Amino acid sequence: MNVGGKMFPVIENMLDWTAKRQQTLSANLANIDTPGYKARDISFSEQMKSLALETTSSEHLEPLEQSGMRVLEVGTPAKDNGNTVDLDREMTELSKNGLQYIALVQFLNQKIRTLRSAING
């Protein structure tokens, strides 16, 4: 990835992913007492496959096929009512996801400051 036109779409894609994941994890918490509700999450590996990567050297690996975000059921054990939401897991994943979002925004802000500095000389 270079600092030019390819960096910003990748960051935008990752910000979209973290926002969608935040919604999914929040829905899990909202349904923590809903009988039969199956906890869901978004696959990070699927998201990595969806990034628009390209090779710039014959020594690079080939880019992965593009695919959209996939919401998957979380494999946590079901409670007596069939609900699979685990409060500890959801809170941990929400925290990690929030930190990832903040890091991406800070990275984006730094890239914008660098570009502004280069433009303004």
pLDDT at residue 94 tops 70: yes
CA distance 65 to 50: 7
Q: Are 39 and 74 in contact (CB under 8 A)?
A: yes
| Mean pLDDT within 68-80 | 85
What span, in angstroms and rounded, lies between the C-alpha atoms of 24 and 45? Answer: 16
Report the predicted TM-score, pTM, of the whole model to 2 decimal places: 0.72
What pLDDT was estimated at residue 11?
87
Q: Does residue 50 register a pLDDT over 60?
A: no
Which pLDDT tens digit goes with each residue over 15-44?
999 999 999 999 999 999 999 999 999 876
Conformation bin of residue 36: beta by default, left when phi > 0, alpha when psi is -120 to 50? left
Residue 87's pLDDT is 96
The domain ranges of the chain are 7-120
